[in-house]
Amino acid sequence: MHWGIWQVFIHTSLLTVSKTNLLVDIGNSNISWKIDDCYNSVNIKNFQVNTIPQHQISAIACVANHELVQHFSNPTIIKPKPYKDLIFDYNLEQLGVDRFLGIVAGYDKYPEQDFMLVDIGTFVTIDSVQNKRHISGSIAPGLYQLQACKTFVGDDSQRSWKIGTENMLRDTIEKRCEAFNGNILITGGGCKMFDIEKYEYHQNLVITGLEVINGK
């Protein structure tokens, strides 16, 4: 290969490597990341630094466990900010970055349609966008938080409590979904307790939002 062409090839290759961007979602219970088309998610308790893929820079959404940021290269910490022509019915300094990025992901998919985002994780958050306006959502305890707030003596009572909390949370979310006239996006690790086939399921809308604002 001609030396001049070889120099261009090396420069282009190094430039591509230097832009290798790891997208990271650090939540209350799980840490997830994506690089190229490879996605991984683990419980915070099981997280091991040596499992992080090689990368040059990282874009991080962090709502908890902030000490984990130090393990990622050249991190950019994403914060909520004005986005396109969306009007936020919320103080952006108080809006969780996970909710913000979920809204960005939903708006990227449905820029001209109303949608509601339901994130079922450690907490359950519900946000909607109607006529390009973000409607202040709700935050509620997730299933495990609900179940942990009370213990009973005896397996039967404890089993009834487990069933009751599941039914209460599921019924509440489904009632909100049925009352909404628009697209419904469901995400989060607690989706298994719901009939998600009725709705539009997304593995991780925080990562999708990171992809959107990073131009991927």
Say if residue 111 is in the same domain as residue 163: yes
- Between CA 172 and CA 178, with CA 177 as vertex, the angle to 5 degrees is 100
The range of the structural domain enclosing residue 175 comes to: 87-213
Consecutive H or E run containing 108: helix 97-109
Q: Give me the mean pLDDT over the 143-149 stretch.
A: 80
Residue 45 lies in a domain: yes
Cross-strand bridge partners of residue 129: 115, 134
Domain boundary among 17, 44, 77: 77
CB count within 10 Å of CB 182 equals: 13
Say if residue 124 is in the same domain as residue 166: yes
Task: Answer whether 0.75 is exceeded by the pTM.
Answer: yes
Say if residue 171 is in the same domain as residue 120: yes
Say if residue 93 is in the same domain as residue 195: yes
Give the residue carrying structure tokens 């359950």.
124
> Residues 37-80: pLDDT tens digits?
899 999 999 999 999 999 999 999 999 999 999 999 999 999 99
Q: Which one, of 79, 98, 100, lies nearest residue 89 by Cα?
A: 100
Distance of CA 180 to the CA centre of its chain: 21
The pLDDT, as a whole number, for residue 196 is 66
